[in-house]
Amino acid sequence: MTVKIFDTPQVQDFLNTVAGFEQAGGSDRAKRIIHRLLADLYRLIDDFDVTPEEFWATVSLMNELGKGSQFGLLAPGLGFDHYLDMRMDAEDEARGLSGGTPRTIEGPLYVAGAPEAEGVARMDDGRDPDGETMWLTGLVRDTDGQPVAGARVEIWHADSKGGYSHFDPSQSEYNLRRTIVTDAEGRYAARSIIPSGYGVPEGSPTDRVLAALGRHGQRPAHIHFFISAPGHKHLTTQINLAGDPYTWDDFAFATREELLVDGRVIEEASEAEQRGLEGPFTEVVFDIELARTEAQELQSRHKRPRALEESTD
């Protein structure tokens, strides 16, 4: 038998009590948000006749997600990260702050405190036997085309197996993570290895949620960037290496047409020599355009708990 009780005064009064509406203390915003969230969930339980078995299986799944620190992984899979991007894009548009290279999601695998270099850096530790040499370079300019010298370009990406240092204990500290400061011409350059795509760990709680939706947990090969410079809007973005089967089938919904980059294989020894490389390599060029702003709060990345980053609240 199915019953519907959500709209009764008893349930509505109960929700007000649970959300702390009758208490003087606490945060008004927290109360209103929790009230809405619980009301939506109570109604969902009523509408879908969620059984106690289903409810407690979900609680257990959430415990497992938490135990594995996987909420930050499930979030992009459920589109939250991209949804926040869509909201920030709309906000920029409304404030007349659009223009420049588009943003896309940070993801859960950034680690603060990577080594810094001026102009050029080597990012890989040379220990990935399948690592194919990549030369990653580009110019940072403002939206008027003026080069931005001294811009901080933070780059992080996966190895040839799709693993990220810090989270993959088999890699050395800060492998494939660097901060490069652009030179007088606004250029950054990195020697690294071509990253592989990422896959959500098989059988993990995140994987099980995606499987229930008939979805996979794969990301195309990509490289993450934070770019910042005084007087310019902080940019969080990624590039995708073109030709990946998951380019338009990213479980994290981060692909944007403007951020697709074609790697160019270069065989000439003279070209390698110019860059201090020993053999054939793939050159990946990503030029970045930063929007100008005097607003200080738009010039740095948003606060978020991150690995090895001191929390600020």
CB of 245 to Fe ion, least distance (A): 17
Closest separation in Å from C-beta 255 to Fe ion: 12
CA 20 – CA 35 distance, rounded (Å): 9
Q: Is 152 exposed, middle or buried (0-12, 13-18, 19+ CB in 10 A)?
A: middle
73 near ligand MBD (CB under 6 A): yes
Q: Give CA separation, 42 vs 23, 37, 50, 55, in Å.
A: 21, 9, 10, 11
In angstroms, the CA 164 to CA 177 distance is: 9
Residues of span 86-105 touching ligand MBD by CB under 6 A: 105
When the beta carbons of 123 and 252 are compared against ligand MBD, the nearer one is: 252
Q: In angstroms, what is the minimal distance from the CB of 109 to Fe ion?
A: 5
CB-nearer residue toward Fe ion: 124 or 142: 124
Neighbouring CB atoms inside 10 A of 45's CB total: 15
Q: Which is nearer to ligand MBD, 159 or 183 (CB)?
A: 159
* Binding flag, residue 109, ligand MBD (CB under 6 A): yes
Choosing among ligand MBD, Fe ion, none, which partner's interface includes residue 223 (Cβ < 5 to 8 Å by kind)? none
Interface residues with Fe ion (CB under 5 A)? 107
Name the percent of the chain in helix, strand, coil, to the closest 5. Answer: 30, 25, 50
- In this chain, which residue has its C-beta nearest to Fe ion? 107
Select from 134, 155, 227, 252 the one that contacts ligand MBD (CB under 6 A). 252
Q: How far is the CB of 110 from Fe ion (least distance, A)?
A: 9
Q: Within 13 Å, how many C-alpha atoms sit on residue 299's CB side?
A: 11
List the one residue out of 132, 157, 161 whose CA is nearest residue 266: 132
